[in-house]
Structure 1
Amino acid sequence: MKNYINLTIFSLGIVLFVCGCQVEETQGPYGSDGEAPGPVALEYVINKPGGAVIYYTPPTDVDVLYIKASFNDDRGRAREVKVSQVIDSIVIEGFGKIGDYKITLNAVDRGENISEPTVVDISPLTPPLQLIFPTLAGEVDFGGIKVSYENPLQSEVSLNVVVFDESRDDFVYRESFFTSQASGTYSFRGYDAVKTQFGVYVEDRWENVSDTIYFEVTPIPDDFLDKSLFSVFKIQRDKDFNDYGFNEAQMWDSRWADQWNCGHTNFLTNLPHYLTVNLGTAAKLSRFKMYQRGGSELYKHGNPKRFNVYGVLDVNSLPPYDSNNPNAGWTLLRECESFKPSGLPIGQTNAEDYEFQNKGEDFDFDVDNLVEIKYIRIEVLENWGGINGTVIGELSFWGEISQ
């Protein structure tokens, strides 16, 4: 009996081994016929700035999985683009120079069998960064330079700043600004009020770079006001920014992009809402940043959208408060409107919106009409959420501080 059992187990093992080998030998990719698909048939090409769109007819093989485009770009880098077999075109992007380039199309099936190549000639038009570069213009600004640009194709690019470093006898990279706006300006700041050589160039997401425009300026003095000196100066009918567990001091604690760190009013009174701040020192203000309440509240809720900024040096010089003219005696420094880079509807944001607000939204004062002040008054006329509430994430001020 023992010998019989051993023989049976041995025989069963042989059967399983043979079956396993047969399964392994016949197993293959599901749905693949094991043969290479037919070639891709070219229809036509539409050349675009920095690339092209290739239209084609895919092969009729039922197991085709995708169409692949292979090519070397203008810098000799090997690249591939893949699209589903149900799509009749493929977009080629990322060329930094105009010229003639060859693209190889292949159909690939479920078994990774590759068709015979179809070679296509494309001639990309002037790439976006080369269209942007001639429009760059720089001018002196508070604490740095202001750069303007035109980006008619609304391409995703960065404006990059280099500064001459005497210790290295060369220009060194300092910072970047990312944008997809059709046009705009951006201020690069944080530089001393000494003659400085700046350079600006454009870079796209494929690491193509333009030439560099150079200029030499002396930034306008732009001292940062010490936030530890800030305090609320309550005037009749000013809103309390301490509601719902928030604290007014959170508006100048050097923290932002956090929806739980802000000044917050109640929802009981209609706009306009007023906030008056004692800056603790007299200064000719050059600019300020307002940071929105961040997190999931960005560009909605009570974040200010349209507001005015007033200033006065001595509150004792103000006339008696008049509810019909609550800003009597104050100097209007700036009418402000918050900007949303994406332009998306309320409740929708993208990475560019967060990047923009994380740096703080800049508002400059008129360089030809700078006024010495010590108290700031913010009048919120409209918020992004259209509600009876105001939230402010952070406030920062710069200027020429009085000695």
Structure 2
Amino acid sequence: MKPNKLIITGWLLIMVIVISNCKKEDRSPYGTDGTAPDAISNPKVTNLAGAALISYTLPDNENLLYVKAVYDLKGVKKEVKASMFQKKLLVEGFGDTEERTVTLYAVSRSEVVSQPVEVKVKPLAPPILNVYRSLKTDSTFGGINVKYVNNDSANIVFEVLVIDSVGDWAHVDFNYTSMKQGSFNIRGFPPVERTWGIYVRDRWDNHSDTLKVKITPIYEEALDKTKFNDVRTTFASYIPQHQPLPNSGIPMANAVDYSSSYPMKNLYDGNITSMFHTKEKYDLPLWIPIDLDKSGASKFVLSRFEIWQRTGTFIFNHGNPHHWQIWGTNNPKIINSNPDNTDPNNGWVKLGEWTMTKPSGWDVGQNSNEDIQVATDGQEFEFPNGMPPVRYIGWKNIDSWGSIDGYTGFFHLFELSLWGQKK
């Protein structure tokens, strides 16, 4: 064998031996001292919502590695560990306020445990019960509206049921949240009274009671987007100039397509991956007018709309809308100087104003998993009750996430859908 090959072979053997020894060491305890550490002392309990915080004094043992708490959770033994640098630990997941026992152990580097120390904990009402008590329901277009308060910002799930045709409970939807308060809607039901059930559960599968209510959904239908039409050119000279207006002093103008690859028709083509994108660095607000029925046969009392943001790194950022208004009219050529006009046959009527918020509340450019999920699923907004029937709408984009309170910017969305009552 050549010398070079002998050297290489020798080094390989050394490496194998070293790796083998490392693996053996990884399987062994952190230490070889078989002495049990002293027990923790002075335990103090602070009862919390569905949990308890236990503080204590650590033993003065050099071989101490961590403290563990052992407790029963719905018949399953749970362990929580806290390092030797901490003097407290949290036990959680309790679905009621019953008193229970938690056993604490000090553990050495050799995984030898101390004598047990038992403490009693009596958790406060868990978040699911507090949320359950806050539930308020009402009828809404196509379904039921549920409002809630979640003061603990707990990660919870709302499960929604209905009584089916044979009298059994049937699951229809669920809603995840960690927001302190909010509401959600379950849609897609005809205007027929039915019995609904709503309960709350958490990540430990604790359940609240089921709230049972009788609700009759309000009639609505999805607008046929194949009948929508871009009327920017047709009514370019008829844009209502109500505040807010461009800081530059020039009149608010129609949005301009960024390129032929991102035309306005993409906004309502039924595809939540194609995009309408306007030119950048244009004066804000921008105006985007749409004819809801190019045949001229129908007007609509609008109930709600849903938008799908441009996703990826653009979620709650870039040109996705942040603050906007929607106006409506039946005669775009009539410009009424009164911003509070309520007659769509005599000018534009302000149908509503919205500011998009992030579930996490984090800064632009930082998104939680819930932020990403909400944007991907589509975001729903309701029109105020009592709005008149209109044929045309104008989306007035006041600012976008990449230009909050800015004077110039742009707009993009994957898709816009609307619902209402045809008149």
SS of the aligned residue for 1:385 comes to: helix
Offset, 1:47 = 0.8
Offset, 1:118 = 1.7
- 1: CA distance between counterparts of 2:184 and 2:63? 52
AA in 2 matched with 1:185 = S
Offset, 1:343 = 1.0
The normalised TM-score by structure 1 is 0.84
AA in 2 matched with 1:238 = N
SS of the aligned residue for 1:355 comes to: helix
SS of the aligned residue for 1:377 comes to: strand
Contact in 2 for aligned 1:200/1:213 (Cα 8 Å): yes
- 2: CA distance between counterparts of 1:180 and 1:244? 41
Contact in 1 for aligned 2:197/2:211 (Cα 8 Å): yes
Offset, 1:28 = 4.2
Q: Which residue of 2 aligns with 1:275?
A: 288
Cα distance change of structure 1 residues 229 and 359 upon mapping to structure 2, 3 Å threshold: same
Q: Out of 417, 420, 423, which is 1:396 matched to?
A: 417
1:176 corresponds to 2:174? yes
Q: Out of 364, 380, 400, which is 2:397 matched to?
A: 380
Would you identify which runs of 4 or more consecutive aligned residues in structure 1 move more than 6 Å? none
* Structure 2 unaligned residues grouped into runs of 5+: 1-19, 237-252
Q: Out of 232, 238, 248, which is 2:254 matched to?
A: 238
SS of the aligned residue for 1:373 comes to: coil
**Deviations 1:43-69 (Å, cap 9, x if unpaired)?**
311111111100012333334333221
Contact in 2 for aligned 1:286/1:398 (Cα 8 Å): yes
1:162 corresponds to 2:161? yes
1:331 corresponds to 2:349? yes
Q: Which residue of 2 aligns with 1:117?
A: 116
Q: Which residue of 2 aligns with 1:108?
A: 107
Q: Which residue of 2 aligns with 1:8?
A: none
The normalised TM-score by structure 2 is 0.80
- CA-based RMSD of the aligned residues comes to 2.7
**Deviations 1:164-190 (Å, cap 9, x if unpaired)?**
1123x2111211122222222222212
Q: Out of 301, 315, 324, which is 1:307 matched to?
A: 324
**Deviations 1:257-278 (Å, cap 9, x if unpaired)?**
x6xx421111232100111122
* Structure 1 unaligned residues grouped into runs of 5+: 1-19
SS of the aligned residue for 2:186 comes to: strand
Offset, 1:156 = 1.8
Offset, 1:203 = 1.2
- 2: CA distance between counterparts of 1:131 and 1:29? 44
Offset, 1:321 = 11
- 1: CA distance between counterparts of 2:159 and 2:353? 30
**Deviations 1:281-309 (Å, cap 9, x if unpaired)?**
53221111122222111112122111110
Percent sequence identity over aligned pairs:
32
SS of the aligned residue for 1:163 comes to: strand
Cα distance change of structure 1 residues 397 and 34 upon mapping to structure 2, 3 Å threshold: same
SS of the aligned residue for 1:310 comes to: strand
Q: Which residue of 1 aligns with 2:10?
A: none
Contact in 2 for aligned 1:42/1:118 (Cα 8 Å): no
